[in-house]
Structure 1
């Protein structure tokens, strides 16, 4: 049971494991996507079609017939990864071994929808994957297996997602091997250490240049590729602010003590990047994308938008 790319990687690992048979794949219904609003299958569905597996796409599990159809498969175990649907107790009770979830954090930290982004946003050095026995709560079940991994200072939500998906694939196979051999232990979560990783909102992509450069860097990394980091630039204060989307950059040198630029000031090119003043340092971004325009590197933006402002 899964939907996006993270789940597809986990499913691919299961497909290569001789110790289990996949009797069906559950994924969310095809969704309209793009300007033409053409219905697009999930990454999990695309992979399942290639394998010729039975695919089911219920809207939810509120219907008794939907639950009965799942029960008729007589699964030994349900494996869940980024499915996106709530599983009621009637579903969790179907398989003798219940349902186990591949979660992209070290539970009980970052329960919820956006654990990868929240870990980066918080400036954490480590995160990981937890294989969890599902219960009726939100990521509150017993821990079956967990592995930690380092978060590089330049990791984005995209790169960390890929690392954790690969780790999740390896870990689910190990969990199934342990289950088969009777070596899978259950450890209750420490509720006193639980945190919640709320779903991202588009507005969270806005950068606050009055914050230290490290915090700006963390937000830019956490918001890449969605919803994207952005800010509003209005150097003369007389025109409509221009929305600029930025890709994650790097932390630059400290601001000068004298003639210190105000936060949010684009001072120009520095080492092939646009240097933007934060509370303590410059933040160096390789490119910006003005609203409705193509992305521009530092030189193009300086020669174009900034030169017009100087004129």
Structure 2
């Protein structure tokens, strides 16, 4: 091991906190932690510290929560920490050019995809949405572009057939910290060769929206099934059953056809709905005001919601 690096860490949610913990456990020195300002949370809307801030305070690390990093004061404050490098993980604020070049070794980012496959805000969800068989974590040197910097290290993992965004998040949250420490250790020894990204292979992983989670039954059953997994735990796919809105958590593709959005059959094995291509067998769903439930529990008292021939979704006259 060469001389330990002085590190500034910038992050906000649990995913970032797991990486901060790995740095705290390493031989390197965390000299300052940046996190977004406390936000109102819960029914009482009391201010709540981020997971990163809570972890930093538990280890007596200096915490900084500027609303922006674009001011001269923010740059002066950051420079005063005399850091070798800044690690950015799901921070949520834009880093201006002056900040990116302030530490001696610049800024590194932990990104939840195999770049340049998915740049942007929702790489974990979009990998499932698109039907990718593999994803991973890329450690990259940050520049002024959106996830366009040179790649320093990639760790990969498979996406299983029943993968949800929640389960894939867990996989990457376990993969990322080790990848980060490996990268930093090699960087400290000058053993890394940056690899430029191929922009022609890049895709933009746009944020998810509640509107996108409204199931369009004219899509293929395969795409809807991927959406159900990609949008779990948020925003969760949903559809209209008459006057009722129902969230759908689990379904599988079946080799049946019919009018898109029409219920073909309903029994203890699932509710089968025709799609633009093939059909979907729904096995776990959630009525408004209730918890997610298996199809058997749903049918108790609600079988009239899913009578064969019923049309789901918004019907355009």
Match of 2:54 in 1: 46
The alpha-carbon deviation at position 209 of structure 1 amounts to 2.2
User: Which range is displaced more, 194-203 or 76-85?
Assistant: 194-203
Is 1:137 the equivalent of 2:145? yes
- Listed as ranges, the gaps of 5+ residues in structure 1 are 235-240
Question: 2, 27, 49: which is aligned to 2:11?
Answer: 2
Is 1:149 the equivalent of 2:152? no
Shift of the 155–294 alpha-carbon distance from structure 1 to 2, 3 Å rule, reads closer
Question: 22, 34, 57: which is aligned to 1:13?
Answer: 22
- Listed as ranges, the gaps of 5+ residues in structure 2 are 1-9, 308-317
Q: Is the 8 A contact 2:285 2:292 kept in 1?
A: yes
Q: Is the 8 A contact 1:78 1:100 kept in 2?
A: yes
Q: Is the 8 A contact 1:2 1:27 kept in 2?
A: yes
Distance 1:162 1:249 in 2: 21
Distance 1:54 1:186 in 2: 31
Match of 1:96 in 2: 104
Match of 1:246 in 2: 248
Shift of the 302–92 alpha-carbon distance from structure 1 to 2, 3 Å rule, reads same
Is 1:274 the equivalent of 2:271? yes
Is 1:255 the equivalent of 2:229? no
Deviations 1:115-136 (A, max 9, x none): 1111110111111111100011
User: Which range is displaced more, 35-44 or 89-98?
Assistant: 35-44
The alpha-carbon deviation at position 100 of structure 1 amounts to 0.4
Name the TM-score, length of structure 1 as normaliser: 0.90
Query: What CA RMSD, in Å, does the superposition of the two structures yield over aligned residues?
Result: 1.8
Match of 1:114 in 2: 122
Q: Which runs of 4+ in 1 moved over 6 A?
A: none
Distance 1:269 1:309 in 2: 9
Match of 1:291 in 2: 288
Name the TM-score, length of structure 2 as normaliser: 0.88
User: Which range is displaced more, 180-189 or 274-283?
Assistant: 274-283
SS in 2 for 1:304: coil
Distance 2:264 2:166 in 1: 27
Distance 2:306 2:129 in 1: 33
The alpha-carbon deviation at position 264 of structure 1 amounts to 4.1
Match of 2:310 in 1: none
Match of 1:163 in 2: 171
Aligned length: 298
